[in-house]
Amino acid sequence: MTTHNIQIRKGFRWLDALIGVGVLVFAACTQMIQPAFAAPAAKAYVGNFKDNTVSVIDTDAGAVVATVPVAAGPHGMAMTQDGRTVYVSGDGSSSVDVIDTATDKVVKTINVGKAPNGVALTPDDRVLVVTVYGEDHIAFIDTSTQSVIATLAVPKPHTVAINPNGKLAYVTVQEPGHFGLALIDLATRSVVRTLALDKTPRDGEFGYDGKSFYFTQAGLSSVQVLDPASDKMVAQIPTGVSPHFVSYPRGSAFGIVVVQGPSELLLFDPATNKPARSIAVGKQPHWATASGDGKKAYVTNEGSNDFTIVDLATGQTTTIAVGNAPRKVVVQRTAASAGKGM
């Protein structure tokens, strides 16, 4: 091989090396200038009772991003743990609608009987329990087939809450002259017993740890605290006029109560069952739920047709206009789960 050819080969090697370095530098620069795509925000779903719609809200942007037509009088709402499916009962219908959160469209309608009210999912999301007020029964829906697999006679059932262990549920019974809390064994799908009440029960919810059951009653300016282990009333939490929804969410230092008279969200200490602070929201607040980390509450305001996001640590609020007479609300647990399947 001549000296000239050797020099040419050495030149090509240097050129290859320079090109290789250039490619690496270009790739690094490209990565630096590419925009970072954040995970989608968790979405909230609000049932507008008078519009027969569900408003879909981007909780980060604080804006309605979609409106979903549903059965008349959206009443009860429940969401699966992964945030992919929302169930909505229609009080003015005989059905429960199934919303796919990837498309924000109704993908299935399940007939359960006249005037379904409350809905709740078992902790494993396998069964949806529906109170069918107009036909005096509870319907059990298999979520894998989206079909009714059993019913249970309960007079004028209104709302339903399932113990976090998935074994028992309390149903608020609004039968005139026979108000009460019906305890349901979910394995046998039978009524274990009914705790009689003097006044109409409104809503009832288990605390996230299952140690207490909180409920409200028409005409009482307080939250009743029940020990589920003994069926004994252990405390009353004083509130303003007309408390409605009450909950003690996971991750929060406080329990939350929507109080319709003064239009406020009341925070209480679940250790002492004493009020902690009040936060003004919209008119006639109806329902509330909490973010997955327990740091924010989401409140529907039936009287002012809006929706309030509350920072539970600071009390700061953000208000978003929705449809007419917003009642129930559910929210995806985290932005990460919101992104799955979308």
Q: Report how far residue 267's alpha carbon sits from residue 274's, in angstroms, rounded to the nearest whole number.
A: 9
Q: What ranges do the domains of the chain cover?
A: 1-33, 44-339
Is residue 10 scored above 70 in pLDDT?
Answer: no
Q: Report how far residue 21's alpha carbon sits from residue 27's, in angstroms, rounded to the nearest whole number.
A: 10
Is residue 266 scored above 90 in pLDDT?
Answer: yes
Strand partners, 300: 287, 307
> Are the beta carbons of 81 and 331 closer than 8 angstroms?
no
**What's the gap between Cα 172 and its chain centre?**
19
pLDDT, position 335: 52
Is residue 233 scored above 60 in pLDDT?
Answer: yes
Q: Report how far residue 79's alpha carbon sits from residue 16's, in angstroms, rounded to the nearest whole number.
A: 58
Kindly report the CATH number that applies to the domain delimited by 44-339.
2.130.10.10
Average pLDDT in the 153-182 region?
Answer: 97
Give the whole-number percent of the chain exceeding pLDDT 70.
86
Task: Quote the DSSP letter at residue 181.
Answer: E
Is residue 87 scored above 90 in pLDDT?
Answer: yes
Range of weakest confidence among 67-71, 113-117, 125-129, 331-335 = 331-335
Q: Report how far residue 216's alpha carbon sits from residue 213's, in angstroms, rounded to the nearest whole number.
A: 10
Structure confidence by residue, pLDDT tens digits, 283-329:
999 999 999 899 999 999 999 999 999 999 999 999 999 999 999 99
Is residue 115 scored above 70 in pLDDT?
Answer: yes
Is residue 16 scored above 60 in pLDDT?
Answer: no
pLDDT, position 41: 80
Confidence of residue 36 (pLDDT cuts 50, 70, 90): very low
**What's the gap between Cα 94 and its chain centre?**
22
Range of weakest confidence among 10-14, 161-165, 304-308, 326-330 = 10-14
Of the segments 33-47, 304-318, 325-339, which one has the largest average pLDDT value? 304-318
For 64-102, b/e burial (b = at least 16 CB within 10 A) is bebebebbebbbbbbbbeebbbbbbbbbebbbbbbbbbe
Is residue 28 scored above 80 in pLDDT?
Answer: no
Structure confidence by residue, pLDDT tens digits, 171-198:
999 999 999 999 999 999 999 999 999 9
